[in-house]
Amino acid sequence: MAENKTAAAPAEWKPTEASKKQATTLRIVSWVLWIVAIALEAVAIFWLLRQRVPVGQEGIVRDDETGLLEAHEVTYEFPQWAFISLLVAFVVIGALSIIGSQLWKKANRLDPARKSDTVRFFVQNQLGAIVAVIAFVPLIILVLMNKDMSKSQKGIAGAIGGVIAVAAIALGIDLNPSSVEEYTADQSTVIQILGEDEVVWVEGGGVYHVCAEVPDVTNASTAASTGTTAEAVAAGKTRLTLEFDSELAACGLPVPENAAEIKEALRAIRDGATDTLLPAPEYAAGVTPPFTPAG
């Protein structure tokens, strides 16, 4: 029979100190990369796109076909070296933007925002895409409006810049961002079905398990690790497996009769619901619950 533990469960999931420190470092590096990317964009806009070389001579010339005198004005074109430099700038800006976005996403996994704080949650998780828009759209517009570039130069630069911009924006979008609410729901579930915040995980995959005697752990080629849900998140395992009921049974631990309802609530919370009630585990008569809330 499982030992009953009475305690005050944490009100909200919190990252480990190491995770917070790593997330802060990753965000600083991301900002440095993004600032360099935007600075390079500014150089391209305010210096590179202003480069031009004169073609022809200004003055009165005689038309050999008509014999008439005509006024000729100097025309300008965008130099080839500046055109090549512009293409290189697009590539470098894209690389800096994408690398920064990936580091930013990793930081958000380690130390997420609250989904209930709608504006901050959106901005924090989609900042990589927002920065990519800022770093590319003004430059592409000015390239297409440049009067000194030839049609072929505009076409090539616009196409290359557009493709890289789309890639940077797409890779900056986080379609499935983590949230404090999601991590808290998983942590609360773990404590209520196990009696303590202790889970098991192995390298590979993105979930953690409720005990070690399950195929996903015993059949793994790497050694299992044990720790809190926050430590599991720090190791890259951001979710509790939804097969926790079968794992509990495999490990000889009490299985809640309403496991299906708990799973449904966890799915809803992971899908973005902020008002979903996480059901308390219910056990058959005679089964001692692993955890009893204090008070």
| Residue ranges of E strands in the chain | 5-7, 53-55, 59-62, 69-72, 75-77, 199-201, 207-208, 225-227, 239-240, 291-293
Name the β-bridge partners of 239.
207
User: How far is residue 37's CA from residue 89's CA, in Å, rounded to a whole number?
Assistant: 9
Q: How many helices (H) and strands (E) does the chain have?
A: 9, 10
Counted domains in the chain: 2
Name the pLDDT band for 81 (thresholds 50, 70, 90): very high
Whether 77 is in a domain gets the answer yes
- 24-47 pLDDT, tens digit each: 999 999 999 999 999 999 999 999
Q: Which two tokens stand for residue 11?
A: 């009100």
Q: Is residue 3 part of a domain?
A: no
Q: Are residues 226 and 279 in the same domain?
A: yes
Of the listed ranges 40-49, 63-72, 108-117, 284-293, the least confidently predicted one is 63-72
Last residue of a domain, one of 172, 194, 221: 172
- Where is the domain boundary, 172, 197, 232? 172
Q: What is the pLDDT of residue 90?
A: 98
> Is the confidence at residue 295, as pLDDT, over 90?
no
State mean pLDDT over 264-280. Answer: 92
Distances (CA, A) of 5 to 8, 191, 267, 270: 10, 10, 27, 27
| pTM for this prediction | 0.86
In sequence order, which ranges of 47-150 are alpha helices (DSSP H)?
Answer: 80-110, 118-145
> CA 269 → CA 128, 187, 233, 255, distances in Å?
24, 13, 17, 21
Residues 151 and 224 in one domain: no
1 band by pLDDT with thresholds 50, 70 and 90: very low
- Domain of residue 140 covers 17-172
- Do 69 and 188 belong to one domain? no
Of 49, 23, 30, residue with least CA distance to 132: 30
Confidence grade of residue 66 (pLDDT, cut at 50, 70, 90):
confident
Residue with tokens 């070690």: 212
**Are both 193 and 95 inside the same structural domain?**
no
Q: Which of 106, 141, 172 is the last residue of a domain?
A: 172
Give the Cα separation of 143 and 120 in Å (integer): 33
Q: Which two tokens stand for residue 244?
A: 């926790």
Is 63 within the bounds of a domain? yes
Smallest CA-to-CA distance from 184 within 242, 238, 227, 225 is with 238
Which residue in 152, 105, 160, 104 sits closest to 136, CA to CA?
160
Among 2-6, 76-80, 100-104, 265-269, the range scoring the smallest mean pLDDT is: 2-6
Q: Are 78 and 150 in contact (CB under 8 A)?
A: yes
Residues 202 and 230 reside in one and the same domain: yes
Residue 185 shares a structural domain with residue 288: yes
Domain assignment of residue 104, yes or no: yes
208 domain-assigned: yes
**157 in the same domain as 76:** yes
Tokens 């616009």 belong to 158
Handedness of CA 108, 111, 115, 117 (dihedral sign): negative
Please state whether beta strands 291-293 and 5-7 pair in parallel, antiparallel, or not at all (unpaired).
parallel
Residue 293's pLDDT is what?
76
Residue 253 has pLDDT above 50, yes or no: yes
Q: Is the pLDDT of residue 5 over 60?
A: no
Rounded CA gap, 93 and 19, in Å? 29
148 and 68 in a common domain: yes
Say if 4 falls within a structural domain: no
Please state, in angstroms and rounded to a whole number, the distance separating the CA atoms of residues 171 and 182.
23
pLDDT band with cut points at 50, 70 and 90 for residue 269: very high
**Is 6 part of a structural domain of the chain?**
no
Domain identity same for 198 and 137: no
Instruction: Say whether both 32 and 156 belong to one domain.
Output: yes
pLDDT range class, residue 57, cuts 50, 70, 90:
low
Whether 129 and 185 share a structural domain? no
Residue 246, both tokens: 């079968």
- Assigned domain for 9 exists: no
CA dist 29 and 37 (Å) reads: 12
Residue 294 has pLDDT above 70, yes or no: no
Contact by Cβ (8 Å): 144, 153: no
| Residue 249 and residue 162 in one domain | no
Binning pLDDT at 50, 70 and 90, where does residue 55 land?
confident
Strands 225-227 and 291-293: unpaired
